[in-house]
Each structure stands twice: as structure tokens, then as C-alpha cells.
Chain A
């Protein structure tokens, strides 16, 4: 047991650090935590990494992964977090990609994996429905076989950034007579197919991050079915476990703690920097300690994955603790900025400028970030669902 990097790993760190320094787009600097960016902004770093062959470090090498060890992947995410890099979105790389290379056929792999790796094709996730949130298996969207096509009807919701999407992966009921978790299929859908309508949902932080997706008589070729008909639930669960393992966000939260420290040394209370008051300093310490615990839990998980085990139910710990910490971080940042948490930069329509122009720069969007982060304990299987998973899969209750 040791924590040291080998000389090879140090060389690797220097290599990726130099690559990021030389290639990370200057126009993206400082945008790493924002949700309201353009399609080009979201994809810029992804495309550069795609050309380099580094967009999907966790994939098996034969499908375009990097073949890095778990330590190298840890170094990679640390180095990206140092510059707050806008990483490839999860929908292609972390979600549908692994499902396609694990359960898809050769045609599907050849057709879809290159676009995911290159950042040319934007994927949307068609899972949740108005009546199927945490109880995902109660979904009602149907896909009915008609010759060489499925005809899909239904409504999906919380479809993240679907306004930019080229393709979507949808869970549809193909056998209405089966029990809830059986009879579901995993179908890939070209978002330009007639009958799909994406409508924006405005969130409490003022952003347009999610959508309703309406599907009316959408005709999809049967070759877009992944794996076997009526076995989509297995693939859906596999996807969620993969989603969870990347969700800890340790490196990014470490950056967030640094930022919080910097804000708390600039803000004052009775003339003393906030960071020098016992109350606030100890809140930061507790956060940092909890983050250390999460970091080492993730490292242990990575090590056991490297030993051949895929992401298991233990990844629920990473989801719960990772999201709690992300929430706590934005909560403390909002606390730290004090009065200047109030001005609303995204609501300037009637004020002749879209720049808010008041308060220190670091206070902008601090409340929005706090509001937005409440989503993290709800999405990806709510934190309550994660506790169900731990109690059933690990504790055997």
C-alpha cells in the first residue's frame, strides 16, 4: 500500500498538464461551472480530446479508450480540474457509449462510437417521464412494432440539454402486459425524426438546462434497438451504475474549496476575513475533511475496478457523498458572499444591459449555483434510491 506516483506516472502527469496548458481553449477559461453555454462551447474541449484520442479514458482500448490505469485516470481528472476544464458531457461518453459497446451489435458500434468519441454527435437521455421519476420502471412511453419500425408514443421529461441533441437513447415499453421492469427496451432515436418535439423547462436558477420531450408516432428503424427486446432494464441499470461512478466530482470540488477559501479571505466580518472566524473556518475544514474521505473512497473504488470488478453498488456511496459535498460547497459559497448573493444576473431583461455590474465578480451566480446544485441529489437515481440500492444489494435487507 502506498500513495506515491511512480516516475512513469509523474511523467504522465507532466505530459497531460502540458497538453492541457497548450490546448485548452482560452475562450472557455472560467466557464467550467456554467450550464447556459452554446453547443460549440460545450463541445470545444471534447473535440480536441477526441482528436488526441483522450475523450473516453474509461472505455476499453479496443473501442477507443486510452488504456490508462486507474491512477492515470485520477491524474487526468485532477489536471483538468486544475484549470476548471469543461469536460465532455456524460450523455455520450459515460452513458450510452458503454451501453453500446457492451450490449450493442457491430453495426451500432461502428455507426455510433466514433461520433461519441469525436464529440460530433450530441446525445440526450430519454429516461424520466412525468409519472416515472425515482420509480423509473413505471414508465409509459410505448414502442409498438410495425414492420421494420418501432412507432414510439409518449412523453419524456428532464431531458438535459436536449435542445442541442442529435441523437437520444430512450427507454420504451415494448411489452405492455409484462411486469414493470420487464417489457422495457433501450432504443436509439435520431432526434430529427418527425414527431419529436423538445420544449424548454426553465429552472429556478433561470437556466434552460432541461426539457420536455414529446414523442408522437415517431417511426424508428428496428435496427436501432440495443440488445434484446424487453431487456432494456438491464442496460438501463448498467448505465446508471456507470453514471454514478463518475459522479463523485472530487477534483472539481477540490477546486471549489480553493475558490471558497479565496472568497472567504476577501469577505470580512467585523473587519476580520471570514476565513479567520472560527465558525466559518471550521465549516470549510469539515467540508474539506469530508471531501478527503470521498476522495480516498473513490481511489479505493478505482483500485478495485482496476482489479477487474466493474462499478458495483458501492458507487452509490460516491453518488450520495459526492453530491452532498457539491451542494454544501455552493451553500457555503453563497453564505460567504453575504448580501451580494441577491443580485440576479440572468434576470436583467428590463434593465438595458445583461451585465449585473455590482458586487465582487465572485458573487455573481453564487445563488444560482446553489439553487442549481439541488438537482444533484435528485438526478441519476435520487440519493434515497441510492440508499435503497445499498440496503438491498450490499446489506441484503
Chain B
């Protein structure tokens, strides 16, 4: 058992932290978020140059030989800086699927992903599907040797910036069946794809994506088109672990800013940080962050284990981080008082990001239910 970071991981952390400090300060971020594009492709190019986009991939896939821990390190720093660029969508999610792809898909897409020239988004959610990854009304039907995709994907984060989409669609079975889920790579400029773009409350961009008889070749399929829910769950759990790391970064800064503010803001002639009721609140915020870090390590380190262990670990982490993030977010605003309500201070933006992280890939209730069902299934298996 070992909780140390490798030299490479420490290097990634340090150089990324420096880059964010120099070029991603809060005012710059505000301007970028308010700009027409909403992100900085030149920043993405710098991420590629730093090796961030290559870090979690094996050397034979063209990466630097790292893994989920490298992604965790990157995401935590992104959380500290409220970075909006789509590392999670491109590297963790699309990269996660492409790792399971054919060598031709890797040669085409993974190479372009690592070099930074191709940016991806993950189109999985649907207007009525909530957090159930199998609840799909989007269909993919056989069309000669290829497929024809139709449907509506909801709140596809990062889609306005993406050149390509990873799309889940039903190839057979009923609406929520576990069987019959396929995964497809679709170029966003393919005929029949239309998007309606919009900003999100936490400074990112998203799209509703509509597919109308979009035809793709057989080479667009990742994995088994009739049975890929397992793959979708696995990659989504990897994204959950990375998202938890981002939350930890955001929590850390929110706590630090709140403690700092409480030392300078005076009321009744004394810094409010001297009031025990607020000291204990901030002690609890500190504990929530530490426990979130622990859970993020746990979930990340268990990604490679058997399905049930991995799923339980991801759900457990998402529950704790959802609860911790909500507590820290709300209390940060409370302790900042009226100033916490203003758009001018960074703290409100950390609060908003933490709030949205809870609902991404399933909120507390969803994952508590998933964890409970997995535990029950485990007990049933043990009893047989």
C-alpha cells in the first residue's frame, strides 16, 4: 500500500499549477467565460504541449505511460483554477472509450486527441433519461455495413467546442434494457447533426444535440454494438473518479478563501473567524474536504478492480463528494455573507461548480441507490 505520487505526477502537478497561476487567474477566466468562444483553444494547445493530454495513456497508445492517477492530479488542479476546458470529456471520457477501440480507431482518433487537434464531447444523457445510462430513446439501426442514428441528446457538456462526439444509442431491446446499448464516434459536422448551444451556470458551454438519420460507417462503432453498457459504466466510473478530483480542488480553494476572508472581515469589532460557531463550521468544512480527498484516492485506486468493487467505490465517492461539496459550497457563501452573493468574488463561482458536480453522472440519491443495490446483489451472491 502506497499513497505517494511518482516524480512524473508531481512534475505534472507543479507545472500545471504554475500555468494556471500565470495564465488562468480568476479575472482572466471571467473574461474567457464571457467571450463568444467561452474557452481558449490556445490554452488547450499548451495542455497538449505540457503532456497533459498524453499523460494517462499507455506508451503503446501514444501516451506517456500514466493512468487514472495522472488524470486525478490534472483534474484536481483544474478544480482549483475552475478550468473550463474539456479535459474530462476529451481525455478521460473519449480517451477511455478509445482505449477500448480498434487499432485503426486509436490511430485515427487517439493520436489526434493526444496531439490536441481533436476535441470530444460525450453525448449520453437524454431529456427523460436522468442518470440511467441505459435509458435511451436515441436509436442506432443497421444501415448496410454501417449504422443510422436518430435521437436527441441533452446537456452535452463541451459540445460547442468539440469536433467529434461519443454517442450512446440503443441498437436493440426496450428503452431501459441493459442489453442493446451501443457506442459510436460521430463527427459533429456529419450530415444530420444539429446543435443548439448555450452556456451553463458554472461557466462552461453545452449543447442539445439532435441526430436525424445520421449515417456512420462500421468503423464508428466502439466495442460490441449490441452489448456495451458495461463499457459505458466503466468509462463513466473513470469520469466520476476524475470529477471527484476536480471537486477536491474546488473544495480546497473554497475552504482556503473562506478561512482567509473570516480572518479579515470584522464585525462587532473582531474578525468573524474568532467566533467559535464559525470556527467549528470551518473545521467541519476542512473535514469534508479531507474525507473527499480520501474517497477520491480510494475510487481512483479501485478503477482497475472487478466491476462490483469498482462501481461501489465510484458511487461511494460520488455520494461523499456530493454531500461534502454541497456543505462546503453553501457554508462558503454563508461565511462570506453578502459578499458571497456577488458575482465579483470567486467564491460564488466555486459554489456553482461544486453544485453542478453533484448532478453530473448521478447525484447523491442516485449513487446511494446504486451502492445499496450493488451491496444487496453482493449479499445475494454470497448467500448462494
List residues of A whose CB falls within 8 A of some B CB. Answer: 1-5, 9, 71, 74, 261, 265, 275-276, 278, 281-282, 284-286, 288-290, 292-297, 299-300, 303, 314, 317, 320-321, 384, 386-388, 390-392, 394-397
* Complex interface: stretch among B2-10, B98-106, B189-197, B354-362: B2-10
The residue in chain A whose Cβ has the minimal distance to the Cβ of B274 is A397
In the assembled complex, how far is the CB of residue A12 from the closest CB belonging to chain B, in whole angstroms? 12
Q: Across the interface, do B319 and A321 meet the contact criterion of CB distance under 8 Å?
A: no
Cα of A114 to Cα of B287 in the assembled complex, Å: 38
Cα of A289 to Cα of B280 in the assembled complex, Å: 23
Q: Across the interface, do A299 and B3 meet the contact criterion of CB distance under 8 Å?
A: yes
Q: Does B381 contact A (CB under 8 A)?
A: no
Q: Across the interface, do A285 and B375 meet the contact criterion of CB distance under 8 Å?
A: yes
Q: Across the interface, do B287 and A397 meet the contact criterion of CB distance under 8 Å?
A: no
Q: Across the interface, do B298 and A390 meet the contact criterion of CB distance under 8 Å?
A: no
Among B3, B274, B280, B379, contact of A387 (Cβ-Cβ < 8 Å): B280
Q: Across the interface, do A397 and B273 meet the contact criterion of CB distance under 8 Å?
A: yes
B298: A residues at CB distance < 8 A: 292-293, 296
In the assembled complex, how far is the CB of residue B13 from the closest CB belonging to chain A, in whole angstroms? 13
Q: A290-B320, A317-B287, A321-B291 are in contact. Are A281 and B279 (CB under 8 A)?
A: no
Q: Across the interface, do B379 and A261 meet the contact criterion of CB distance under 8 Å?
A: yes
Q: Tally B residues with Cβ within 8 Å of A.
A: 40
Q: Does B276 contact A (CB under 8 A)?
A: yes
The residue in chain B whose Cβ has the minimal distance to the Cβ of A70 is B1
Chain B interface SS verdict (over half): helix
The residue in chain B whose Cβ has the minimal distance to the Cβ of A298 is B294
In the assembled complex, how far is the CB of residue A9 from the closest CB belonging to chain B, in whole angstroms? 8
A390: B residues at CB distance < 8 A: 283, 286-287
Q: Does B139 contact A (CB under 8 A)?
A: no
Q: Across the interface, do A293 and B301 meet the contact criterion of CB distance under 8 Å?
A: no
The residue in chain A whose Cβ has the minimal distance to the Cβ of B67 is A1
Give 8 closest A-B pairs by Cβ, nearest first.
A296-B294, A391-B279, A387-B283, A390-B283, A293-B291, A387-B280, A297-B294, A303-B3
How would residues 111 to 129 of chain B score, 1 for a CB under 8 Å from any chain A CB and 0 otherwise?
Answer: 0000000000000000000
In the assembled complex, how far is the CB of residue B198 from the closest CB belonging to chain A, in whole angstroms? 34
Q: Does B284 contact A (CB under 8 A)?
A: yes
Q: Across the interface, do B259 and A397 meet the contact criterion of CB distance under 8 Å?
A: yes
Q: Across the interface, do B319 and A297 meet the contact criterion of CB distance under 8 Å?
A: no
Cα of A293 to Cα of B69 in the assembled complex, Å: 18
A-B contact pairs, 6 of them (CB 8 A): A2-B301, A71-B1, A289-B316, A297-B290, A300-B294, A387-B284
B316: A residues at CB distance < 8 A: 288-289, 292-293
Cα of A5 to Cα of B2 in the assembled complex, Å: 9
How would residues 251 to 275 of chain B score, 1 for a CB under 8 Å from any chain A CB and 0 otherwise?
Answer: 0000000010011000000000110
Among A275, A317, A391, A397, contact of B290 (Cβ-Cβ < 8 Å): A317
Q: Across the interface, do A300 and B274 meet the contact criterion of CB distance under 8 Å?
A: no
Among A286, A294, A300, A395, contact of B259 (Cβ-Cβ < 8 Å): A395
Cα of A68 to Cα of B323 in the assembled complex, Å: 36
The residue in chain A whose Cβ has the minimal distance to the Cβ of B73 is A1
In B158-202, which residues have CB < 8 Å from any A CB? none
Cα of A84 to Cα of B62 in the assembled complex, Å: 50
Q: A282-B369, A282-B372, A391-B279 are in contact. Are A292 and B295 (CB under 8 A)?
A: yes
In the assembled complex, how far is the CB of residue A234 from the closest CB belonging to chain B, in whole angstroms? 23
In B334-384, which residues have CB < 8 Å from any A CB? 368-369, 371-372, 375-376, 379
In the assembled complex, how far is the CB of residue B332 from the closest CB belonging to chain A, in whole angstroms? 14
Cα of A286 to Cα of B318 in the assembled complex, Å: 12
Q: Does B222 contact A (CB under 8 A)?
A: no
Q: Across the interface, do B3 and A394 meet the contact criterion of CB distance under 8 Å?
A: no
